[in-house]
Structure 1
Amino acid sequence: MSFIKFILQDWQSNRGNVKGRVFMLLFRIANFCSTRRMYFYLGCLYIIFYKIFIQWLFTLEVPWNITAGKGLVIFHGQALIINKDVVIGRNCTIRHCTTIGTKQKSDGSVTHAPVIGNNVDVGNNVCIIGPIHIGDNVKIGSGSVVVKDIAADCIVAGNPAIVKGNSNRLLKDSTINIR
């Protein structure tokens, strides 16, 4: 994939989301530099800029070397924390105040990071923690705490998150009654 195609792969997904477009452009440039050895030394200064600009000014802790598929959308980019080992599939949406990372066991060791499938929609203020897998086409409600695997095509919500419905079936009402 050419440099231009690589850095613009999320441009259409973030249409109307200026902050998301700026963040994704800066993220993809840093990601390009960090994953290609020949650009590493050229990219070192840019990566320092990325850490200062993105982490301090945007308040987004999104490492430049995570694996994120095409079409990633970041809405309201504030207080977003993603562990460096997280894998995010294609066409995912992540909202503000979300943490996606590992957890520390009582013996001090750290678990593996979550793997998020394609077309996953993560609400705001969500915690996705531990060595879990989130299937494709999952919708995670705001304020959910996800600590177990989620099968594909589910709607989950709550603390701890539990399945509330199936994202494939047509809902009669556009809202989900969560109790």
Structure 2
Amino acid sequence: MNLFEFIVQDWRVNRGNTKGRLLLLLFRTANFCSTRRAYYYLGFPYLLFYRVLVEWFFSVEIPWNVKIGKNLSLFHAQALVMAADVVIGENCTLRQSTTIGNKQLRNGLVSSSPVIGNHVDIGSNVCIIGSITVGDYVNIGCGTVVVRNVSAHSTVTGYAGTERKSTTNS
């Protein structure tokens, strides 16, 4: 995949969503620079620009080294927070006020961050924290707090990921 294809890989799924397109264009450019040694030093001024513009002005914290698969769809992209070691699969949807990251453990250490599968639809005001895995084709309802693994083809709502098997396969 060349630079242009890499940067615009989310363009189609965010049709009509100018803010989502802009944020993902900025993220993909920063991700390209930060994950390729040859571009890191040349792109360092851009990485600083990205951090200031996206975090301070758009109030979105998507670290430039997060691993996100193609076709990420952002609805109302504001108040999104991710830890740097989050992994998100392909064809996922994120909505506003979502936090995906690590948590502090009882022993004072910090856990690793979630790994989210493909075709996961995440509602608004969702908190997914800890060293957990969210399977493929999962729907996470608005306001859900997910702190344990979620199996594929599930719908999750409420606190701690109360799980219910979906009746239809997506």
Counterpart code for 1:154:
S
- 2:89 is matched with 89
Structure 2 stretches lacking a partner, 5+ long: none
Counterpart code for 1:21:
R
Q: CA deviation at 1:167?
A: 5.9
After the TM superposition, which residues 125-140 of structure 1 pair with which residues of structure 2 at under 5 Å, given as runs?
Answer: 125-140=125-140
Counterpart code for 2:148:
K
Contact 2:150 2:161 in 1 (8 A): no
Identical counterparts, % of pairs:
53
- 1:2 is matched with 2
Counterpart CA distance in 1 for 2:133 and 2:141 is 17
After the TM superposition, which residues 31-42 of structure 1 pair with which residues of structure 2 at under 5 Å, given as runs?
Answer: 31-42=31-42
- 1:156 is matched with 156
Q: CA deviation at 1:144?
A: 0.2
Count of aligned pairs between the two proteins: 170
- Pick closer, same or farther for the CA change 1:73–1:35 going to 2, 3 Å: same
State the structure with more CA Rg.
1
- 2:75 is matched with 75
Q: CA deviation at 1:168?
A: 2.7
Counterpart CA distance in 1 for 2:51 and 2:103 is 23
Paired residue secondary structure (1:61): coil
Contact 1:87 1:116 in 2 (8 A): yes
Q: Which runs of 4+ in 1 moved over 6 A?
A: none
Structure 1 stretches lacking a partner, 5+ long: 171-179
Counterpart CA distance in 2 for 1:88 and 1:52 is 23
Counterpart code for 2:150:
I
Q: CA deviation at 1:33?
A: 0.3
Counterpart CA distance in 2 for 1:19 and 1:45 is 22
Q: CA deviation at 1:163?
A: 1.7
Counterpart CA distance in 2 for 1:45 and 1:113 is 28
